Amino acid sequence: MSLWDDLKMQHAAKSGRSLAEMFENEQRFADFSAGFGDMLFDYSKTHIGPDTLSLLLELARNAEVEARREAMFTGAEINETEGRAVLHTALRAPEGPIHVDGEDVMEEVLATRKRMAKFARAVREGDVEGQGGSYTDVVNIGIGGSDLGPAMATLALAPYHDGPRVHYVSNVDGAHIHDTLKGLDPTRTLVIVASKTFTTIETMTNAQTARDWMAEKVDEPGAQFAALSTAADLTAQFGIDPDRVFGFADWVGGRYSLWGPIGLGIMLAVGPEDFDDFLAGGHAMDTHFREADLADNLPVLLALVGIWHNQICGYATRAVLPYDQRLSRLPAYLQQLEMESNGKRVTMEGDDLEVNSGPVVWGEPGTNGQHAFYQLIHQGTRVVPCEFMIAAEGHEPDLAHHHRLLVANCLAQSEALMRGRALEEARALMEAKGLKGHELDRQARHRVFPGNRPSTTLIYPKLTPHVLGQIIALYEHRVFVEGVILGINSFDQWGVELGKELAKSLEPVLRGEDPGTGKDASTRGLVAYYRSRN
């Protein structure tokens, strides 16, 4: 019998066991929480007990997580389907050497980081300016990893934002660029085209539109553009001065790229010093992940909880619930990080996966989510493992009473999910309100909370650049560990290609230049509707 089967048996055996009872063991919180630096990860409100944890750790060891981890950090070609190393950790390393194919890559990484800082400082201090004066606005045009990470981090670091306003445009829907550019002064706007490949249709279409907008008022629009890309030839073709092009290597995956040039928008917003702090936080998590024993290793523990809930217990989704308004884009960022990385149906060898692939990740910041979808989380028929996140301290000392309430809400939700409310309790409440007989029974049943629902909580001191860096790196490594345990390649994304190809072939059909004869009746019908109105 495999370890997977053993774990599934554990789940079956324990499914009736109540979390509340598990807390009769006073040691439970101490045994099932782990820290790194000031950060604390509490997974005691899950059904993982000592036996389950040792099986899960064995699963990780059998999958050779430690060896794969070392292979990643040392530049081995672990992205086997694309023949690439995976070295985003080098982007946040303070120094080298780190070798890929026998060459130290850190020289280039550090030189680019320095060039970015010089450029960011010049923009922030007004030494580099647009035709109409110093830059008031920056528009970052990118999508997927070239948007979600920097957009999420720029918002997260709002208290540190003292540079120009930074806007992010991603969608090819003209509404996005239209609404963003509306009201901006083209003579004082810097446009960053962020695209690893510099071929992504959404980004290139938006970049062209931004250039046309700029050209109406600016004599040399190319001079107010910068590019973040691995494709120096294509950025040159687009007319961007090589001095304003910040390159990176193909061993940086799109969804792992905010630590390098793709993070320029963050750096422009908060400044190179705070950006360095963000990198240092990421690097601190790297060191912890690389050196800590698996049993005390935060990314490994998060991954094991994830595997337990998704592949063993069969809970298909995972809610990420930051009680931190400035992390409101974190769930969207994690959707790409986790679902593009681990949404795979075959193993590295191309065999069918024998367990489910990674979970559907979703979420919203608390407390907003409480007034929207928590109803289902508490009383729906499906179990949704919840991941709560909260800072011990906010950035607004004058509003400490808000923060206390925020924390109280966060802790209350995990407590409520675990404890629930039994029928007797609900009946007592209804009785106290004077209800009797059938009406009492009926109303009481609506007020029952099954409880026994799992959640984890990550608590950190304050959302500083350093802490944000730790959180992002924590999630990156968690995804990596889950991928290794599943035996998949977390670093390719072939699943996005088919739709892209079909969109390309449909464009001429929509224009009426291609009859679209090969298309199915549904697609033809929808095209006909579109054409009848255009």
- By annotation, the residues acting in catalysis are 340, 371, 500
Pick the closer one to ligand F6P by CB: 148 or 327.
148
Give me the least distance between CB of 200 and ligand F6P, in Å please.
Answer: 3
Residue from 170, 200, 235, 457 in contact with ligand F6P (CB under 6 A)? 200
Q: Scanning residues 429 to 468, which ones bind ligand F6P (CB under 6 A)? A: none
254 near ligand F6P, judged by CB under 6 A: yes
Residue from 196, 244, 329, 477 in contact with ligand F6P (CB under 6 A)? 196
201 near ligand F6P, judged by CB under 6 A: no
170 near ligand F6P, judged by CB under 6 A: no
Distance in angstroms (rounded) separating the CA atoms of residues 187 and 136: 9
Pick the closer one to ligand F6P by CB: 195 or 470.
195
Give me the least distance between CB of 351 and ligand F6P, in Å please.
Answer: 24
Pick the closer one to ligand F6P by CB: 18 or 197.
197
Question: How far, in Å, are 288, 498, 516, 533 from residue 513 at the CA level?
Answer: 57, 22, 9, 16
Q: Token pair for residue 271?
A: 């400044």
Binding mask 465-504 for ligand F6P (x = CB under 6 A): ----------------------------x--x--------
Phi, psi (deg, nearest 5) at residue 98: -135, 125
For 469-501, b/e burial (b = at least 16 CB within 10 A) is bbbbbbbbbbbbbbbbbbbbbbbbbeeeeeeee
Pick the closer one to ligand F6P by CB: 79 or 146.
146
Distance in angstroms (rounded) separating the CA atoms of residues 306 and 311: 8
297 near ligand F6P, judged by CB under 6 A: no
260 near ligand F6P, judged by CB under 6 A: no
Give me the least distance between CB of 142 and ligand F6P, in Å please.
Answer: 6
Closest-CA residue to 193 (of 209, 182, 178):
209
Maximum alpha-carbon separation in the chain: 81
Pick the closer one to ligand F6P by CB: 20 or 360.
360
146 near ligand F6P, judged by CB under 6 A: yes
Pick the closer one to ligand F6P by CB: 148 or 391.
148
Residues in the chain, total: 534
Pairing of strands 137-141, 189-194: parallel
Total number of residues that touch ligand F6P (CB under 6 A): 14
Pairing of strands 189-194, 386-391: unpaired
336 and 145 in contact (C-beta within 8 Å)?
Answer: yes
SS3 168: strand
Region near ligand F6P per CB under 6 A, out of 83-91, 99-107, 112-120, 191-199? 191-199
Residue from 112, 131, 197, 205 in contact with ligand F6P (CB under 6 A)? 197
Pick the closer one to ligand F6P by CB: 203 or 367.
203
195 near ligand F6P, judged by CB under 6 A: yes
Sign of CA dihedral 466, 471, 476, 481: positive
Residue from 124, 255, 378, 427 in contact with ligand F6P (CB under 6 A)? 255
Distance in angstroms (rounded) separating the CA atoms of residues 127 and 189: 14
Q: Which helix (H) or strand (E) holds 227?
A: strand 225-229
Give me the least distance between CB of 242 and ligand F6P, in Å please.
Answer: 19
Give me the least distance between CB of 234 and ligand F6P, in Å please.
Answer: 10
Pick the closer one to ligand F6P by CB: 194 or 463.
194
Give me the least distance between CB of 262 and ligand F6P, in Å please.
Answer: 8
Pick the closer one to ligand F6P by CB: 349 or 497.
497
203 near ligand F6P, judged by CB under 6 A: yes
Give me the least distance between CB of 144 and ligand F6P, in Å please.
Answer: 3
Question: How far, in Å, are 116, 244, 259, 438 from residue 191 at the CA level?
Answer: 15, 11, 19, 67
Region near ligand F6P per CB under 6 A, out of 143-151, 178-186, 326-334, 385-393? 143-151
Half-sphere exposure of 280 (CA within 13 A, CB side): 10
Sign of CA dihedral 16, 18, 19, 25: negative
DSSP state for residue 47 in the 8-state scheme: S
H runs (alpha helix) in 23-94: 28-31, 50-62, 65-73, 88-91
3-state secondary structure 491-531: CCCHHHHHHHHHHHHHHHHHHCCCCCCCCCHHHHHHHHHHH
Beta bridge partners of 317: 360
Q: Scanning residues 330 to 349, which ones bind ligand F6P (CB under 6 A)? A: 340
369 near ligand F6P, judged by CB under 6 A: no
Give me the least distance between CB of 91 and ligand F6P, in Å please.
Answer: 15
Pick the closer one to ligand F6P by CB: 143 or 304.
143
145 near ligand F6P, judged by CB under 6 A: yes
270 near ligand F6P, judged by CB under 6 A: no
Distance in angstroms (rounded) separating the CA atoms of residues 370 and 408: 13
Residue with tokens 């660029």: 177
Peptide bond preceding 367 in cis form (omega within 30 of 0): yes
261 near ligand F6P, judged by CB under 6 A: no
Half-sphere exposure of 439 (CA within 13 A, CB side): 6
- In the complex, the residues that contact ligand F6P under the rule CB under 6 A are 143-146, 195-197, 200, 203, 254-255, 340, 493, 496
